[in-house]
Chains A and B, each alone.
Chain A
Amino acid sequence: MLLTLPQETVNEVIAHLHSDECTLQSLSVVAKRLTEECRRHLFASIHIDSETKIDRWCHTILPGEDGLSRYVRLLDFDTWSDGLWCLSALLHEHPAHLYSFTQVEQLKICPLDPRKRQGNLLESLGHLPSTVRSIYIRPAGDYLATLNFLALFPHLETTVVTSPLIYRDPGVVDVPNLLHRGDLILKVCRLNTGTNILSWLTRPTTCYRRVGLGLVKVDNPTPLERFFEACSDSLESVQFISCFFGEQ
């Protein structure tokens, strides 16, 4: 029945199944005309958080522009554990694989610490900057280095910065490369790092078209009040805000 429908209709049906991995896997082997569309959803995002995952990907997926890597739209590096190693491995041991991600539009790196070994790695992200439109980072290192990292991506439409862990006062920062960078969303969890986000609410925000502030798990109004008092001079560019109290 499905195979008798026009391709556009088939694609619509498959799109409705985008989160049903088992069905997509089954459908992908029913007929060649279903395979392509199913793969588009099955490999739309990959989450890399360990050396094992890197190895598994590199040893089972063939690199190249026609490989499965071309379906990946969201590349999610969770670098908390041995994540630095993940990026290192991908870039130095399997460079062909990185260059196979030809359609990545969204890049997530948490945490991002350009001071450490990531620095060299991130500078050699290859062609990713030309396709990436949205980026999600949790900065954990040098503020200026983080800004320079963002400057690698000329086509950013959305930048999400979540609970930054920036220890130094950046002072006066010249960020000419960050002009007209689309939307900036600052997400602060529990306001425990609220003061650090002040760095992001000062000069760079003037470069963004819209700024959004997401405050989640706010314990009580007191830190919220302090936060807004401290940021009051830099809030003019904020156009949208969300606030969720408590643990829920």
Chain B
Amino acid sequence: MTRWSLSSSYPVSSVSNRHHFYAHPLIPTFVGPLVHCPPNLLSSLTELREVKLSLRFYNDYFDILAILSSITSTRMNSVTLFVWECPFPDDLEYFSLRWSKIENALCRLWELKGTGSADMVVVDMYFDLVGLGDEVLRLSRRGEFMPRFQEGGVLNVRTQPVEVNRAMASIMPEGFR
């Protein structure tokens, strides 16, 4: 499922002419469906306040990036990311690079709200691997994970892994989950 790109400027999506994501030499690139979410997917949701997304790291990275980047609402309060298959941060540089685009998209959300807004954008992040959440939490506390986002937003790294069906059911009122 995973392809390792050898060229630093290899376009991940060779079919879609709307997006040109360029891969890092050591970053696995996506070889699933070669059509990604359009850059304006959520642009018409002007009242949007809350987003919950599942991020299968190797499959959905560019779609989730496109979804987050397409938000135009100035009222965003909450982003929840359920992260699956994320590589362990053995190589911090690689790990940070991989998350930097997501971080930029999240920073954009509090920039859209403007500096005068009292409400902050809160990002809750869940990981599927036991221990990964702990490690990411440790990095975020040391300012080595999404430091720029934390300048204007709140990052909560959850250390308890969440089961996928529970994650999907979380949009439902409690009794219907």
The chain A residues found within 8 Å of chain B, CB to CB, are 45, 73-74, 105-106, 108, 134, 136, 158, 160, 185, 187, 212, 214, 216, 220-222, 224-225, 228, 232-233, 235-246, 248
B-side contacts of A239, CB under 8 Å: 47-50
Residue from B41, B50, B54 in contact with A228 in the complex, judged by beta carbons closer than 8 Å: B41
Residue from A160, A220, A232, A240 in contact with B173 in the complex, judged by beta carbons closer than 8 Å: A160
A-side contacts of B176, CB under 8 Å: 74, 106, 108, 134, 136, 160
On whether A240 and B48 interact (CB within 8 A), knowing A221-B37, A225-B37, A248-B164, the answer reads yes
Task: Determine the distance from Cα of A228 to Cα of B59 in the docked complex, in whole angstroms.
Answer: 21
Task: Determine the distance from Cα of A220 to Cα of B38 in the docked complex, in whole angstroms.
Answer: 12
Residue from A134, A221, A232 in contact with B33 in the complex, judged by beta carbons closer than 8 Å: A221
Q: Is the CB of B45 within 8 A of A238?
A: yes
Q: Is the CB of B35 within 8 A of A241?
A: no
Which of chain A's residues has its CB closest to B66's CB? A221
Which of chain A's residues has its CB closest to B38's CB? A225
Which of chain B's residues has its CB closest to A228's CB? B41
Which of chain B's residues has its CB closest to A217's CB? B168
Task: Determine the distance from Cα of A22 to Cα of B84 in the docked complex, in whole angstroms.
Answer: 34
The chain B residues found within 8 Å of chain A, CB to CB, are 32-33, 35-38, 41-42, 44-54, 56, 59-60, 63, 66-67, 80, 82, 84, 164, 167-168, 170-173, 175-176
A-side contacts of B170, CB under 8 Å: 242
Residue from A134, A136, A237 in contact with B47 in the complex, judged by beta carbons closer than 8 Å: A237
B-side contacts of A232, CB under 8 Å: 44
- Rounded to whole Å, the gap between the CB of B18 and the closest CB of chain A is 10
On whether A245 and B60 interact (CB within 8 A), knowing A187-B171, A221-B37, A225-B41, the answer reads yes
Which of chain A's residues has its CB closest to B63's CB? A221
B-side contacts of A212, CB under 8 Å: 50, 171
Q: Is the CB of A242 within 8 A of B37?
A: no
A-side contacts of B173, CB under 8 Å: 106, 134, 158, 160, 185
- Rounded to whole Å, the gap between the CB of A224 and the closest CB of chain B is 6
- Rounded to whole Å, the gap between the CB of B19 and the closest CB of chain A is 11
Q: Is the CB of A214 within 8 A of B84?
A: no
On whether A236 and B38 interact (CB within 8 A), knowing A73-B175, A108-B176, A220-B33, the answer reads no
27 A-B contacts, Cβ less than 8 Å apart? A74-B175, A74-B176, A106-B176, A134-B176, A185-B173, A212-B171, A222-B35, A228-B41, A235-B44, A236-B45, A236-B46, A239-B47, A240-B49, A240-B51, A240-B171, A241-B50, A242-B51, A242-B53, A243-B52, A243-B54, A244-B54, A245-B56, A245-B63, A246-B56, A248-B54, A248-B164, A248-B168
A-side contacts of B50, CB under 8 Å: 212, 239-241
Q: Is the CB of A245 within 8 A of B35?
A: no
Q: Is the CB of A134 within 8 A of B164?
A: no
Besides the known contacts A225-B41, A239-B48, A246-B60, 5 further A-B residue pairs in the complex with CB atoms under 8 A apart: A228-B44, A243-B51, A244-B82, A245-B54, A248-B164
B-side contacts of A243, CB under 8 Å: 51-54, 67
Q: Is the CB of A236 within 8 A of B44?
A: yes
Q: Is the CB of B47 within 8 A of A236?
A: yes
- Rounded to whole Å, the gap between the CB of B17 and the closest CB of chain A is 15
On whether A248 and B51 interact (CB within 8 A), knowing A106-B175, A158-B173, the answer reads no
B-side contacts of A160, CB under 8 Å: 172-173, 176
Most chain A beta carbons < 10 A, residue from B35, B54, B176:
B176
Q: Is the CB of B175 within 8 A of A220?
A: no
A-side contacts of B164, CB under 8 Å: 244, 248
Most chain A beta carbons < 10 A, residue from B51, B171, B172:
B171
